[in-house]
Amino acid sequence: MSVVYDTAVFVGADRSDRTVWADHRIRLEMGAVPTTTAPVVAHVSRSPRQVQLRRFLRGCEIVAFSPEQGHEVGMLLGQAGTSDVVDAHVAVVAARTHSTILTSDLNDFRQLSNHLTTVPPLRRA
């Protein structure tokens, strides 16, 4: 199962949450490289001293925010009546890759998912 990590996963990793690290390790051992987005990384990265975060990120594929996605993300935000660009980009990436979103913002992603053609599954991080 492919997954896209939202911010909460990285907050847990940065705080050395054993469950987050164990789940991540299992995915990697199974050959399932988790994905996240560059905006999520920007949202959580605050210092070069975040050693745990940087170590965790080495096991992830980081998807850039492409110019083409700008319009798609903007339209999704308009349709959903929300304003969180980071969440909307995660939703777009997950929908395109048929991946599950791991997040603590289930309600926010449900609202966004109502306006996507392909609805990504959600799981609490």
Describe the strand order of the beta sheet including 35-37 as a list of residue ranges: 61-63, 35-37, 3-5, 100-103, 122-124
The tens digit of pLDDT for each residue in 70-112 reads 999 999 999 999 999 999 999 999 999 999 999 999 999 999 9
pLDDT of 1 reads 78
- Give the integer Cα–Cα distance in Å for 34 and 30: 11
Q: Are 112 and 87 in contact (CB under 8 A)?
A: yes
Instruction: Specify the residue for token string 């959580």.
Output: 44
Predicted TM-score (pTM) of the model is: 0.95
Q: To which residue do tokens 């660009």 refer?
A: 85
Cβ–Cβ < 8 Å for 79, 115: yes
Phi first, then psi, for residue 82 (nearest 5°) are: -120, 175
Average pLDDT over every residue of 45-63: 96
**Residue 34: partners with Cβ closer than 8 Å, 6 or more residues away:** 2, 3, 4, 5, 24, 27, 28, 59, 60, 61, 102
DSSP-derived 3-state class of residue 45: coil
Query: For the chain, what is the radius of gyration of the CA atoms?
Result: 14
